[in-house]
Chain A
Amino acid sequence: MTALAKPAPDTAAPMVQVRGLHKSFGQLAVLRGLDLDVPAGSVTVVLGPSGSGKSTLLRAINHLEKLDGGYVAIDGELIGYRRSGDRLHELKEREVLRQRTDIGFVFQNFNLFPHLTVLENLVEAPIAALRRPRAEARTAALALLERVGLADKADAYPRQLSGGQQQRVAIARALALEPKVLLFDEPTSALDPELVGEVLDVIKDLARTGTTMIVVTHEIGFAREVADTVVFMDGGVVVEQGPPAEVLDHPRHERTRAFLAKVL
Chain B
Amino acid sequence: MTVSITAPPGAPARRGPAPGPGSDPGPDPRLDLDELAGLRTVPARHPWRWGIGIAALVVLAQFAHGLATNPGWDWATFRVYFTADTIVQAVGRTLELTAYGTLLGFLLGAVVAGMRLSRSAILRSIAWAYVWVFRSIPLIVQLVFWFNLSYLYKRFGIGIPFGPTFGDVETGGVLSALGAAVLGLGLHQGAFAAEIIRGGIIAVDAGQREAAAALGIPRWRQGWRIVLPQAMRGILPAAANEVISLLKGTSVVYVMAIGELFYQAQVVYGRTGRVVPLLMVATVWYVLLTTVLSIGQYYVERYFARGAQRTPPPTPLQRARAFVRARPARTPAAARTPGGRS
A-to-B contact residues, CB < 8 Å: 62, 64, 93-94, 97-101, 103, 105, 107, 109, 111-117, 124-125, 128-130, 157-160, 173-174, 177
Contacts of B207 in A (CB 8 A): 107, 109, 111
Q: Are B307 and A114 in contact (CB under 8 A)?
A: yes
Q: Which residues of B contact A (CB under 8 A)?
A: 205, 207-208, 210-219, 221, 225-226, 229-230, 304, 306-310
A140 to chain B, nearest CB (A): 14
Which residues of chain A are within 8 angstroms of B226 by Cβ–Cβ distance? 113, 124
Q: Is the CB of A128 within 8 A of B306?
A: no
Contact of A124 with B215 at beta-carbon distance under 8 Å, contacts A64-B210, A113-B226, A114-B230 already known: yes
A-B contacts at CB below 8 angstroms, number: 79
The smallest beta-carbon distance between A244 and chain B, in angstroms, is: 28
Question: Of B215, B306, B308, which one neighbours A125 at CB under 8 angstroms?
Answer: B215
Chain A residues with Cβ below 8 Å from B205 are 111
Q: Flag if A115 contacts B306 (CB, 8 Å).
A: yes
**Residues of chain B lying within 8 A (CB to CB) of residue A112:** 211
Contacts A97-B219, A115-B229, A128-B221; is A159 near B214 (CB within 8 Å)?
Answer: no
A125, B310: Cβ atoms under 8 Å?
no
| Contact between B210 and A129, CB atoms less than 8 A apart | no
Which residues of B have CB within 8 Å of A173? 215
Residue among A97, A99, A105, A115 with the highest chain B CB neighbour number at 10 A: A115
Give every chain B residue within 8 A of A114 (Cβ-Cβ): 230, 307-308
CA distance A159 to B213 in the complex (A): 22
Known: A99-B216, A105-B215, A159-B309. 18 other contacts (CB 8 A): A64-B210, A101-B215, A101-B216, A103-B214, A107-B207, A109-B207, A111-B210, A113-B208, A113-B211, A114-B230, A115-B229, A115-B306, A124-B215, A128-B218, A128-B221, A129-B217, A157-B306, A159-B307
Complex contact B308–A115 (CB within 8 A): yes
- B307 and A124 form a contact (CB under 8 A): no
Q: In this complex, what residue of B is CB-closest to A160?
A: B310
Using A157-B306, A159-B307 as known contacts, say yes or no to A100 and B215 having CB atoms under 8 A apart.
yes
